[in-house]
Amino acid sequence: MIYAALAVLLGIFGFLVLSDGSNTLMGLEKDELARLAFSGTLLTLLIAGFWHRFRDGMGENLKALMIWALLAVALVAGYAYKEEAGEMGNRIVGTLRPGSAVTAGDGTVTITRRADGAFSVRAEVNGRMQVFQFDTGASSVVLTAENAAAIGISPAESDYGIRVSTANGVAMAAPVYLDSLTVGSITERRVSALVSRRGALSGNLLGMTFLDRLASYEVRGDRLVLRPAR
């Protein structure tokens, strides 16, 4: 094959030397043929050198070629199915780390149940990470005084004027507004919330002042599914 290519190139050079400048070959002018012949010669020499080295270690080179071909196929497949691969990766992360929000292509957010049966939801409050317990029985989003202080929310003592029922009994809480509350790709702004007195609650509650803003929410087996409002 290489010898045939060289013969064709020699034929082109011969045509260039013997022609008077007015002839064409296959519709190509003389200068175009010259560029083609020069480029073809370089390419042929490169291929010849590569083939000589490839032939000397045929077994190892074929193995390397197969590996590179498989990598190329994997890269093309990864690009073609990048959305599906990303969603699968998110599902794996959600399963290995319960509470992590997994966002699907349609914006739906899924959270996996913890081993103790509760739904622990990792969310950002005013850009700071907090962990909430999913609680449809809580009429409001509730932050403990300790967690609220950690994100810069410290109600005055006189603001604790709302009575709330907790597992430990009745406690007093202060009303606040959260600039933003984000779960996965779902962000709600100016969310009404309560801050409980210090020691009244053991954790934050993701209550109805956030959940009511969603298009829907439901529990499917061991998964909590949140759908954003459109």
Average pLDDT, the chain: 77
| Rounded percentage of the chain residues whose pLDDT exceeds 70 | 59
Task: Reply yes or no on whether the pLDDT at 141 is more than 90.
Answer: yes
Domains of the chain, earliest start first: 2-80 (no CATH), 90-227 (2.40.70.10)
**Closest C-alpha to 183, from 103, 80, 104:** 103
- Report the pLDDT value the prediction gives residue 199, as an integer from 0 to 100: 83
| Beta strand 204-206 pairing with 128-134 | parallel
228 three-class SS = coil
Q: Which residues pair with 123 in a beta bridge?
A: 130
- Report the pLDDT value the prediction gives residue 64, as an integer from 0 to 100: 64
Containing 106, the helix (H) or strand (E) segment is: none
- Report the pLDDT value the prediction gives residue 117, as an integer from 0 to 100: 80
User: Residue 151: which pLDDT band, with cuts at 50, 70 and 90?
Assistant: very high
Interior/surface letters 26-55, b for 16+ CB within 10 angstroms, e for the rest: eeeeeeebeeebeeebeebeeeeeeeeeee
63-111 pLDDT tens trace: 666 776 777 777 766 656 555 555 555 555 555 555 677 888 888 999 9
**Closest C-alpha to 54, from 65, 43, 45, 44:** 65
Task: Reply yes or no on whether the pLDDT at 193 is more than 90.
Answer: yes
176 three-class SS = strand
Span of 36-40, 68-72, 146-150 with lowest mean pLDDT: 36-40
pTM: 0.59
| Alpha helices per DSSP H over the chain | 2-18, 30-56, 58-80, 82-96, 145-150, 208-211
**How many whole angstroms separate alpha carbon 22 and alpha carbon 30?**
8
Look up residue 100 and give its DSSP letter. Answer: -
The DSSP annotation for 138-168 comes to -SSEEE-HHHHHHTT----GGG--EEEEETT
What lies within 8 Å, CB to CB, of 121 at 6+ separation is 99, 101, 111, 131, 132, 133, 134, 183, 206, 224
What lies within 8 Å, CB to CB, of 4 at 6+ separation is none
Task: Reply yes or no on whether the pLDDT at 175 is more than 60.
Answer: yes
User: Residue 198: which pLDDT band, with cuts at 50, 70 and 90?
Assistant: confident
Look up residue 1 and give its DSSP letter. Answer: -
